[in-house]
Chains A and B, each alone.
Chain A
Amino acid sequence: MKRLAWPAGILAALLLVNLIFTDHFFQIEIKDGHLYGSLIDIFRFGAPLILVALGMTLVIATRGIDLSVGSVVAITGAMACLEISTLSSQDSIGGVLGAIGIALGLAVALGVGNGFLVAIVGIQPIIATLILMVAGRGLAQLITDGQIITINSDPYKLIGGGYWLTLPFSIIIVAVVLALMAFVTRRLALGLLIESVGGNAEASRLSGIRSHGLLIVVYAFCALCAGVAGLMISSNVSSADGNNAGLWIELDAILAVVIGGTSLAGGRFSLGGTVLGALIIQTLTTTIYSIGVPPETTLLFKALVVTIVCLLQSPAFRAKVFRSRRKPAPPTVPAGEKVTVRT
């Protein structure tokens, strides 16, 4: 896959930078039957972002955008923790599954709402999802009653912090979701229909594609992904924080999708690219800690790296850089003669 070469190369470069600062960065070992290592950590901590970005990929492929994923993360975490906190035994597997079901059901309902606003009412996606982005934080606060709900549930802890078959459980969830998405979009025909609607909505409608239904499904799925990510985040800390859970994750997710090579103009999308994009962002966060960037400059540092990454991703920029590099030295000209050098 030539399209993925650039994001893959950038990721590799970032990882190598870490090797300089952190000894044994690439080392993976088994402790107590669990896989440990910096690389595993990047995957584990990056799992929620990867999930949100995967859902976002499909939305962006339809020429849309979903700003509400961060709020959905907070809402599902809050909902799940609230339900679990009311259980008589917080370790009851049935009770925890019920709580997860309610929370994810709520996420899907919110996503259907987004899809309805975009597809049926015809509001621009950025505005339609902005509503939930803002209102959703309030909803999460309402659910938690403005407090941070703390729980103590081992089954729930498994989602974000547990291990299964030596692997972190969150990585397994991501792998399953990715495999399912790849199957449905690439082995089945959903991917083609999404790309067609994103590429030319009117032509798709005239070709008989039910674009309204398709949009609602895509927004609902994006919210579901955000919901699962919300469970992971709250499970990892065994608490729900309506204010800060998933804050700004929508921006990281959009960035991951774009770095992965899916255009904001809709159409072609790449799930593999999005995973690489999310990993790049997560690795960057890890790198910032490992090379000891002062906390007050982390955001600036991140912005700088992201700018460089985006420039490297841009074919126009690359063409320019390579052209000027290949250009032979300008011939010596007698003084006084006017030269124009194209850059």
Chain B
Amino acid sequence: MAEAILRMTGIGKEFPGVRALDGVDFRLLPGEVHALMGENGAGKSTLIKVLTGVYSIDSGEIELAGDRVAFAGPLEAQKAGISTVYQEVNLCRNLSVAENVFIGREPRKFGRIKWGEMRRRTTALLRQLDLPIDVSKPLSHYSLAIQQMVAIARAIDIDARVLILDEPTSSLDAGEVAQLFRVMRRLKEQGIAILFVSHFLDQIYEIADRMTILRNGRLVGEYVTAELPQVELVGKMIGRELAELERLDERPPARTSDPLVEATDLGGRVAPFSLTIHEGEVVGLAGLLGSGRTEIARLLFGADHAASGTLRIGGDQVTLRTPRGAMARGVAFCSENRREEGLVPELTVRENLILALQARRGWSRPVPRKKQDELVAKYIKALNIRPDNPEMLIRNLSGGNQQKVLLARWLILEPRLLILDEPTRGIDVGAKAEIQKLVVELSDGGMAVLFISAELDEVLRLSHKVAVLRDRRLVAELPNDDTLTTDVLMETIASGGAK
């Protein structure tokens, strides 16, 4: 085995209250594509940021081509030969391709830029990557995939020995992905080490030679891709926690009732899917991040528009154009993205809690202050929100308590369908159990719940049936009977439902 170009040993990184990386080892060989795998929050981005000099490390050491290095900033890492291409291309879209490749290091003669040479060298460089494009056109003229490849070309031309591709494929279509992979293979032949991050398992298996798996900031292991079956990979990423919390109780089957929500071939940013949710039923959505779970939720809530198919809520066929329209039909959606789609940080706990109720009533019919205080007191107690001060700014609460306030925002509306997108992510075990218990109580009371979580245990524990997603496609719908286990779910996620 060739000598590693990059070797990280015992890397530790701590943020206030979080151990983001804990003694992680990582090595990268020249001429390989290496996938960094792990669920959200596993430490992938922290590791990349450490490697690119964005963060400094608390412990451990980094060796690049045998020399111990410590980067004070991204520029130093780049100078040492570590280049990063992010999902969002950080080039100047209004400049020409050639200018982008040579920006800041233009070939000059007597202070004047030698435009001809710049264009010639760029064309030659891109031809190496099988990319015969007109380099004098502005970058914005080309597709995102080509822009990404221009960014890659720029990186290699600055003598990159290590190339980091962070989620490069998430906004590319299949043809563009194939093009990108061709370029990656070519770079591999030139001996460049490529660190590749993607949530698409198929792509990992297509391009990666080896992989390193992280979970909760710790190293799970380093594997040769061809020797690790997909189902084991998923298992290692998610981790098989022994069900400490036993099934809350044997779930009684959902009462047979009329279907509340019937989606038929509904599609948009996910492939068309059909899904039925009954009153009092908890439907779990399982799948890896980026598999289309959130997209389904947003379609059912009217936050995104459906491109195809029909949706019936309570028997009526509806076209949802706005969240407001969905709310009028009794649908509530608690987003996974607390910070950007949930919290209004400058407002108090009370104001955040009554926001949806007030929005429904409109500006001219304020919720009377006494009623507000009653509602807020009730939910602070019911959900055990700490500290129990309704006039505190919500941004000063912990993540778990913020989540409970947002949950309460929707519970106040007494919805018929409650969509919970990752309601327990990033919150502590106690709050997690409380939210799980609440879901059971709500569904026993007749509320339909669509429960989205990356944690299969949790999905299995709460759901009456589980819909499995993979690569933005609903691949299976499994009733939660005694035969359904996390292993079966993992198998389904890994195989894409094909048996």
Contact = CB atoms under 8 A, between A and B. Distances in A.
A25 to B, nearest CB: 39
B355 A190 contact: no
A210 B364 CA distance: 13
B361 A189 contact: yes
A210 B324 contact: yes
B41 interface: no
B303 A206 contact: yes
Interface in B347-391: 347, 351, 355-356, 358-367
Nearest to B363: A190
Contacts of B443: none
A206 B358 contact: no
Contacts of B301: 206
Nearest to B327: A208
Contact of A206 (B335, B345, B363): B335
Interface string B294-323: 000000010100000000000000000011
A203 B366 contact: no
B346 interface: yes
A204 B347 CA distance: 12
Interface string A170-213: 00000000000000100111101101100110111111111000
Contact of A207 (B345, B361, B363, B409): B409
Contacts of B327: 208
Interface residues of A, number: 23
A268 interface: yes
B341 A192 contact: no
A70 interface: no
Q: Which of the listed residues A196, A200, A203, A205 has the most CB atoms from chain B within 10 Å of its own CB?
A: A203
A260 interface: no
A214 B367 CA distance: 18
Contacts of A187: 366
Interface residues of B, number: 30
B176 to A, nearest CB: 27
Given A188-B366, A268-B346, A196 B323 contact: no
A214 B301 CA distance: 21
B346 A208 contact: no
Q: Which of the listed residues A189, A193, A214 has the most CB atoms from chain B within 10 Å of its own CB?
A: A189
B364 A188 contact: yes
Contact of A193 (B303, B324, B343, B363): B363
A206 B323 contact: yes
Interface in A93-118: none
B359 A195 contact: no
Contacts of A208: 323-324, 327, 356, 359-360
Contacts of A190: 363-364
Contacts of A205: 303, 322-323
B324 A203 contact: no
B343 A207 contact: no
Interface string A253-275: 00000000000000110000000
Contacts of A267: 344, 346-347
A207 B359 contact: yes
Contact of A209 (B341, B342, B359): B359
Interface in A74-95: none
Contacts of A200: 340, 343-345
Contact of A199 (B303, B344, B363): B344
Contacts of A210: 324, 359
Contact of B355 (A202, A207, A214, A268): A207
B351 A192 contact: yes
Nearest to B361: A189
A203 B365 contact: no
B24 to A, nearest CB: 34
Contacts of A188: 363-366
B323 A207 contact: yes
Contacts of B361: 189
Interface string A17-52: 000000000000000000000000000000000000
Nearest to B328: A208
Nearest to A208: B359
Nearest to B324: A208
A195 B341 CA distance: 15
B341 A203 contact: yes
Interface in A210-229: 210, 214
Interface of A: 184, 187-190, 192-193, 195-196, 199-200, 202-210, 214, 267-268
Given A193-B358, A208-B356, 13 more contacts: A189-B364, A189-B365, A190-B364, A193-B363, A196-B351, A199-B346, A204-B355, A206-B323, A208-B323, A209-B355, A210-B359, A267-B347, A268-B346
30 contacts: A188-B366, A189-B358, A189-B361, A189-B362, A189-B363, A189-B364, A189-B365, A189-B366, A192-B351, A192-B355, A192-B366, A193-B363, A195-B351, A196-B344, A200-B344, A200-B345, A202-B340, A203-B342, A203-B344, A204-B359, A206-B301, A206-B333, A206-B335, A208-B327, A208-B360, A209-B355, A209-B359, A210-B324, A267-B346, A268-B346
Q: Can you list the 6 inter-chain pairs with the closest CB atoms, starting with the nearest?
A: A208-B359, A199-B344, A189-B366, A267-B346, A190-B363, A209-B359
